[in-house]
C-alpha cells in the first residue's frame, strides 16, 4: 500500500484518507464545499486508481518471486 | 446491484453490515466489473491501516487540495470554525502518510559528563506513546483524541525545564553507563506525576532518573482552550561518562544548562516560574504572561531566557497571536534554543508558510546532526508530511 499510496494524486490521497478516518459524505461536503455527487465520483475514481496501483504492485511482487 | 450501489456502500462504509443476499449480489457484480473490484480492494486495504497522529493544521491543506485549490493562505477564522474536524481528521491523513515512512528510531543525542563533575546531562526523546507500544513505535494514542484548540506540536513533547540527574556514585566508580526509560503523566499544570521506570539498563540509575524527572516541567497540552493532563508520556534519560574533559555536546547544553554559570540557579528559577504554571492550571494565560513579564523585568535570567521565551511562545500560540508567538520562539532560538525550532516550524505551517516551515526544520536537523544527535520521529514525520504536500528542498 505504501508505494501505491505514493503514486496516488495528492487530492485523491487527502480525500481517501479523510474518508477512511470516518468522515461521511455530508461532512466532507461541509468541509470542501463540493457536492456529494462530485465527492462520490471522486472517491470512486480514487479507489479504482488505488486499486489499480495495488494490483500493479502485487503483479510486480509476484513476478519478482517467480524469478 | 450496479457500480453506483457498490460505490454507495463503500461511501457509507456499510460493507461490514451487509445481508447475505446483498453480499451475494455484490460478489456477482465484482466478478464482472473490474473497476468495482479494484475499488473494493483499495477500500479494504485503506481501512486496515493504523491511524497515527498528525500535527493540527495539516488538514487545512488537505481540504484545499480536495477542493481543487492550491494550498493557499486561509483566514484564521475559517480554521477556527473547522477546528475540531481538522484536528480529529489530522490523524487520518497521517494514517496513510505514515506507511510511507521508513523505520524510525527514537531521538538520540549522546550527552557527556566531565570526569570530575557529578552531573551528566539527560538526552531526552519524549513522545506521547501509548503505554503498550514499544519505544520506536509511532505516537499512536495522543492525536486520536480530539484536540480542538491546540496548535502546538502534538507528536513531540518536550520538557520546558529539565534538571540534570545526579550521576550515581556507585555507577561512576564502576565506570558504568546506562539508560533509563520512564513513563509518566504530565499534569494539567505541567508537572510530572506517576512516574515509573519502564526499562533500565541497570537499576543503579533508576532512583537518580526518577528524582530528576520529578522536578521537570512541561507546558501542558491544551484541548479546547483548557490545559489537560497527558498520560503515557515517555522519556529516556541517559547516563554517559566521558573519559576526558570534553565540550558538552547535547541538545540541552545549548538551551538549558543544568548549572547556569551566571544569573539565577535552577532552584531559584523554578520557584520564580512556578506561579506561571499555576496560572496555566487555572486557565489564566494573561496571568502567566504577567508572571513572565515580572521575571524578565526583575531578574538577570541568563541562560533561562530560552525557557521564558518558549513559555511566551506557548502563551501567544494559545492566544492565536501567531506573529508574536513566532517572534517569541525566534528569541528563544536566538538565545541558543534548539527545540523551539520545531514549534516555530509548526507555526509557520499553521500560517501556510510551508517553505519557512521546511527551512526551519532542515536548519534544526542540521544543528542536531552537528551535535551528534538524531532527529526525533515526530520531526522526521513532519518533514515527510511537508514533502507529501509537495514541498521539498528543491523548491526553496
The 8-class DSSP code of residue B162 comes to: -
Query: Measured on CA atoms in the order A17, A20, A22, A23, is the torsion positive or negative?
Result: positive
Residue pair A16/B96 in contact by the 8 Å Cβ criterion: yes
- How close does chain B come to A66, measured CA to CA in Å? 24
Residues of A in contact with B390 (CB under 8 A): 10
Question: Which one of A15, A39, A40, A44 would you mutate to disrupt binding with B, by most B Cβ within 10 Å of its Cβ?
Answer: A44
Give percent of chain B above pLDDT 70: 64
Contact A47 B42 (CB under 8 A): yes
Query: Could you tell me the pLDDT band of residue B213, with boundaries at 50, 70 and 90?
Result: confident
- Straight-line distance from the first to the last Cα atom of chain A, in angstroms, rounded to the nearest whole number: 22
Q: How confident is the model at residue B171 (pLDDT cuts 50, 70, 90)?
A: confident
Coil, strand, or helix at residue B222?
Answer: strand
Please provide the average confidence, as pLDDT, over all residues in chain B.
68
Give the tens place of pLDDT for each residue, A51-66.
888 887 766 655 554 4
* Per-residue pLDDT reduced to its tens digit, B248-260: 333 333 333 344 3
Residues 6+ apart with CB under 8 A from B112: B120, B121, B240, B241, B242, B246, B248, B249, B250
Q: Which residue of A has its CA nearest to B63?
A: A32
Q: What is the pLDDT of residue B126?
A: 42
pTM, two decimals, is: 0.47
pLDDT digits (tens, 9 = 90+) for B53-105: 343 344 555 555 555 543 333 322 222 222 222 222 222 222 211 211 222 22
List, in sequence order, every residue forming a beta bridge with B183; answer none if it has no partner.
Answer: B196, B234
- Under 8 Å between Cβ of B314 and B219: yes
Q: Are B197 and B181 in contact (CB under 8 A)?
A: yes
Amino acid at each position: 500500500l505504501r508505494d501505491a499510496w505514493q503514486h496516488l494524486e495528492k487530492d485523491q490521497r487527502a480525500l481517501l484518507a479523510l474518508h477512511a478516518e470516518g468522515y461521511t459524505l455530508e461532512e466532507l461536503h461541509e468541509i470542501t464545499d463540493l457536492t456529494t455527487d462530485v465527492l462520490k465520483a471522486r472517491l470512486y475514481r480514487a479507489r479504482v486508481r488505488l486499486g489499480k496501483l495495488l494490483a500493479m504492485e502485487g503483479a510486480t511482487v509476484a513476478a519478482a518471486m517467480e524469478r | 446491484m450496479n457500480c453506483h450501489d457498490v460505490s454507495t456502500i463503500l461511501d457509507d462504509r456499510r460493507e461490514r453490515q451487509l445481508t447475505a443476499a446483498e453480499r451475494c449480489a455484490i460478489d456477482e457484480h465484482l466478478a464482472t466489473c473490474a473497476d468495482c473490484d479494484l475499488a473494493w480492494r483499495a477500500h479494504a486495504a485503506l481501512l486496515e491501516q493504523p491511524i497515527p497522529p498528525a500535527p493540527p493544521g495539516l488538514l487545512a491543506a488537505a481540504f484545499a487540495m480536495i477542493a481543487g485549490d492550491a494550498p493557499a493562505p486561509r483566514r484564521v477564522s475559517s480554521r477556527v470554525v473547522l477546528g475540531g474536524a481538522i484536528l480529529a481528521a489530522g490523524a487520518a491523513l497521517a494514517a496513510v502518510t505514515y506507511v510511507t515512512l521508513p523505520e524510525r528510531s527514537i531521538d538520540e543525542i549522546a550527552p557527556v559528563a566531565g570526569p570530575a563533575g557529578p552531573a551528566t546531562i539527560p538526552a531526552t526523546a519524549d513522545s506521547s506513546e501509548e503505554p503498550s507500544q514499544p519505544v520506536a513505535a509511532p505516537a499512536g494514542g495522543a492525536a486520536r483524541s480530539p484536540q480542538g484548540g491546540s496548535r502546538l506540536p502534538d507528536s513531540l513533547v518536550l520538557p520546558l525545564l529539565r534538571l540534570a540527574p545526579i550521576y550515581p556514585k556507585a555507577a561512576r566508580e564502576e565506570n558504568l553507563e546506562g539508560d533509563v526509560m520512564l513513563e509518566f503523566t504530565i499534569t494539567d499544570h505541567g508537572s510530572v506525576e506517576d512516574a515509573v521506570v519502564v526499562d533500565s539498563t541497570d537499576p543503579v540509575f533508576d532512583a537518580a532518573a526518577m528524582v530528576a524527572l520529578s522536578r521537570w516541567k512541561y507546558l501542558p497540552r491544551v484541548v479546547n482552550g483548557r490545559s489537560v493532563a497527558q498520560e503515557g508520556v515517555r522519556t529516556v534519560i541517559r547516563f554517559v561518562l566521558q573519559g576526558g574533559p570534553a565540550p558538552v555536546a547535547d541538545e540541552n547544553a545549548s538551551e538549558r544548562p543544568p548549572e547556569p554559570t551566571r544569573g539565577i540557579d535552577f532552584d531559584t528559577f523554578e520557584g520564580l516560574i512556578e506561579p506561571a504554571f499555576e496560572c496555566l492550571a487555572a486557565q489564566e494565560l494573561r496571568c502567566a504572561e504577567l508572571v513572565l513579564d515580572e521575571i524578565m523585568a526583575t531578574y538577570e535570567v541568563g541562560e533561562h531566557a530560552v525557557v521564558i521565551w518558549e513559555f511566551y511562545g506557548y502563551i501567544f500560540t494559545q492566544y492565536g497571536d501567531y506573529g508574536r508567538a513566532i517572534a517569541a520562539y525566534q528569541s528563544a532560538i536566538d538565545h541558543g534554543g534548539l527545540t523551539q525550532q520545531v514549534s516555530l516550524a509548526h507555526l509557520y505551517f499553521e500560517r501556510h508558510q510551508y517553505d519557512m516551515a521546511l527551512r526551519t526544520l532542515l536548519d534544526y536537523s542540521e544543528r542536531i546532526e552537528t551535535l551528534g544527535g538524531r532527529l526525533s520521529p515526530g520531526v522526521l514525520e513532519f518533514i515527510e508530511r511537508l514533502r507529501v504536500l509537495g514541498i521539498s528542498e528543491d523548491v526553496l
